[in-house]
Amino acid sequence: MTYFWHVTSSITRFALFILMPLASTCASFAQPTRVLLGVKWNGQSEVFNSVNILTQKFKDIKFLPYVSGAELGESTLDQANKRYFYNSNSGLTVVDATNGIILDTFGISINLRGIEYDSNKIIGTYWNGKAVMLASLNLDTKKLNDIGILKGVTGSEQGETTFDAINGRYFIKTNLGITIVNAANATTIDTINISKGMNGIEYDPSSNSLIGNYWNGKYVILMVLNIATKKFKDIGILKGVNEITLGESTFDKINKTYFIKTNFGITVINSQSAAIIDTIADNIILKSMEFFSYSDQLEVKIIGKCISDSALFKLSYSDNIDSAKWNFGDTISGKNNFSNKTTDVYHIYKNYGIYSIKFITFYKNLSDTFISMISFEQPKADFTVSDICEGFKGVFTNTSLKLSEEPNYKWNFGDGQTSTAKSPEHLYDIESISQTFNVTLIVKTQTGCADSTNIPITINAKPKSDFSFSLYNNLWSFIPKQSGNIKYRWSFGDGDSAIAAMASHSYKDGLNSHTVCLKVTNTAGCYTETCKQPASTGISNTKSSGFKIYPNPNTGNFNIEIDNPEKDMSIEVYNSVGEMVERIEMVGNVADINLDIASGIYLVKVRNGKMECNQKVSIVK
């Protein structure tokens, strides 16, 4: 079972949840991270940068290629999709707000000013040579659309802007004062004539006002402009900040804090009272500053629960939201969708699969949507293996169902040995006796869900390829010591060979010794080979007058006569595949043999004391 987490948000409320199966341990969400995003010029190139508001630590995220310090322009932020847009010499560059990777570049010849993000488009203004135009850049089609002319505004007098995304209004500093424009059609809604040069303007939806500052000749004053009444209110003096060092600003609407670039660094101000909350002092001069808040990645430890266990959705805290709505993403979720901001919510999933859970929080007229992708993955154990011969390793190929996270594997080879490898090899010791073993594979997910399967493997013993030999009248006879195999192949060492079970061979090269090899294959396809060097020196040859078989051919009844019998005498009769069909202990010099066997050529082996000799007999019925 695997958990994926994603958060999308129009604003970032502090209402978070964690997921864990019951009886599991789980780490909760950390507080959302609040940072300022911006860029700095390091003397050679622009560097995408962030400063953590809590720790006040600056972090270089990534170099922005092709952007010089002089050409860097304005910026805007898509909080929901974590995208940062800024004007550069390349056009409009789109950057991943978390890692600084450039996602796209809109190469437009028009330099949009006062850019603001709204519903996957960028709204801004530009000077066409005669009038200031309000335009929108569609991020899907990359097409620029002129919305309308801002009447009475000249190119040189065009100033800062801020955007009311809720009401679709655009506030622009112009030569007329603060012009309020309908973002959809560039129609001027209102103009607020002010004599004060309001800098760093930001829109606060909770109070329907603009927050900014101005220089009164002695001090920098933080001020609020009420849009409805058109009245100004001086909130307070920004101590130690003069007009020259006053720079860009950005606004945290949730926490009512206002960040201003000053001669101290970045000054954090309470927008309600103008009280200085903090100063982030650093020699890094952030340009195109934007406030960004995101939830830290969730760390979860799941222990041993699978499908059909109740899943617990737990709110870390929910004090500062008005309401919440759940959608668990499965087919039965419709009747279980409900508005509830209680801390513990339970839901049971019936089937394996991937589910998209949505948790929507509401605060006044603003909402956040937290999305979590939960995957209940069913493990399915499977593998392939083939029977093998003794002395070879069994190769076990794991064909189990692929999961998003690598599961744990446990193999039991049936002989007391185990392995945790994905696709192991194993050598069995069968001591020359064919055996079959039941092999078990257990696949266990990281969360404890398991499946197993069993497949037998047979380890086939090798055949015995040893053989005996004897010499009679310059004719060598070779007899295997194990019968019943399907293939016998003799190599006599002089280039000749034979494929019968028993073989005879005469050498014509005059050599006293040759290397004779027997390769034996059994019914399982296993084989072995034995080689020996029989030599004629020292081997007794039975004279023709000392060993007689008569009649030959015969019907199975024949006599064997030995001229010089000794005490230990025996007779063995072998068929064509090397199987002994008769053995007789002989007394006296004549033996009467009566065999009930089929027609064919048989080998008679006679042992007389230390002498051993062979002779073929033909039986015809």
| CATH number, span 544-619 | 2.60.40.3080
Domain 467-532 CATH assignment equals 2.60.40.2580: no
Does 18 have pLDDT greater than 50? no
Burial per residue of 65-88, b for 16 or more beta-carbon CB atoms within 10 angstroms, e otherwise? eebeeeebbbbbbbbbebbbbbbb
pTM of the model: 0.46
Domain 124-193 CATH assignment equals 3.30.160: no
In which band, very low, low, confident or very high, does the pLDDT at 176 lie, cut at 50, 70 and 90? confident
- Distance CA(327)–CA(371), nearest Å, equals 10
Does 294 have pLDDT greater than 70? no
Mean pLDDT, rounded, for 333-358: 73
- Distance CA(416)–CA(478), nearest Å, equals 42
Q: Using CB atoms within 10 A of its CB, is residue 237 exposed (0-12), middle (13-18) or buried (19+)?
A: middle
Bridge partner residues of 510 (DSSP): none
pLDDT value at residue 119: 86
pLDDT value at residue 363: 61
pLDDT value at residue 398: 97
Q: Using CB atoms within 10 A of its CB, is residue 44 exposed (0-12), middle (13-18) or buried (19+)?
A: exposed
Does 364 have pLDDT greater than 80? no
Torsion of CA 122, 128, 132, 133, to 10 degrees: -40
Q: Do domains 467-532 and 544-619 have the same CATH topology?
A: yes
Reduce the secondary structure of 333-373 to three states and give it as a string: HHHHCEECCCCEEEEECCCCEEEEEEEEEEECCEEEEEEEE
Asked whether the beta carbons of 352 and 330 are under 8 A apart, the reply is: no
Q: Which amino acid is at 352?
A: Y
Dihedrals φ, ψ of 134, to 5°? -90, 130
Asked whether the beta carbons of 455 and 439 are under 8 A apart, the reply is: yes
The pair of three-digit structure tokens given for residue 160, joined into one six-digit string? 């800062």
Does 387 have pLDDT greater than 90? yes
Range with the poorest average pLDDT among 137-141, 435-439, 445-449: 445-449
DSSP structure string for 272-335: TT--EEEEE--S---EEEEEEEEPPPP-----S--TTSEEEEEEEE-TT-SEEEEE--STTGGG
Beta-sheet strands, E only, within 151-198? 161-164, 169-174, 177-182, 188-192
Enumerate the domain spans of the chain.
2-30+297-376, 124-193, 383-460, 467-532, 544-619
pLDDT in tens, 400-425: 998 878 899 999 999 999 999 999 99
| CATH number, span 2-30+297-376 | 2.60.40.10
- Higher model confidence: residue 149 or residue 424? 424
Mean pLDDT, rounded, for 199-215: 87
383-460 to CATH, choices 3.90.228.20, 2.20.28.160, 3.40.50.970, 2.60.40.10:
2.60.40.10
pLDDT in tens, 243-270: 766 667 888 877 788 888 887 788 888 8
Q: The tokens 């192949």 sit on which residue?
A: 489
Mean pLDDT, rounded, for 460-489: 90
The pair of three-digit structure tokens given for residue 592, joined into one six-digit string? 């009467």
For the chain, the average pLDDT equals: 79
- Length of the chain equals 621
pLDDT in tens, 549-591: 888 788 888 888 887 788 778 888 888 777 888 888 887 788 8
pLDDT value at residue 69: 63
pLDDT value at residue 12: 35
CA dihedral sign of residues 513, 514, 515, 518: negative
Task: Find which of 16-20, 116-120, 546-550 is predicted with most confidence, using mean pLDDT.
Answer: 116-120
Instruction: Reduce the DSSP state of residue 399 to 3 states and report it.
Output: coil
